[in-house]
Amino acid sequence: MTSTTYIDNLVEAIMLARTGGKPGQAYFVLDEGDRSMREVLTAMAATQKITLPDRSMPGWLARALGTMLEGIWRTFGLKSKPPLTAHEAMVMSRHCTLNGAKATRELAYHPPVTVHDGLRAMSSP
């Protein structure tokens, strides 16, 4: 499970923090609800008319593959980024949800753009 933040929602929170935030404080700015990483990636790919496969690999295997690819890239001095890193695999294979209650409470933040509307905007030319 993961939390997401649409850019327009982040901008809204920044504007609220300029007038109502407490100096030196950090706020998690989130869209409504949590969703699985698969759900997020599938929905984002669909905005570009890409259908992701239904299959996936176990997290431990993805992390091992990411580590191996990083080693290959380092060994051969490849300048590009590997197609998968251990960190990326770790992030995609673990639950990482955040709590935005502080932004709601102290900034009166409520995401003005829904996840559905944000995804629809991504599919616009």
Residues 35-88: tens digit of each pLDDT: 999 999 999 999 999 999 999 999 999 999 999 999 999 999 999 999 999 999
Residues 122 and 69 in one domain: no
Residues 19 and 76 in one domain: no
Percent of the chain with pLDDT over 70: 99
Going by C-alpha positions, the residue among 102, 81, 96, 108 that lies closest to residue 16 is 108
Q: Residue 96 forms beta bridges with which residues?
A: 2
Residues 83 and 112 in one domain: no
Residues 22 and 67 in one domain: no
pLDDT at residue number 45: 96
Sign for the CA dihedral angle at 102, 106, 110, 115 comes to: negative
Residues 104 and 118 in one domain: yes
pLDDT at residue number 109: 98
Question: The whole model's pTM is what?
Answer: 0.80
Residues 77 and 110 in one domain: no
Residues 105 and 81 in one domain: no
Residues 64 and 117 in one domain: no
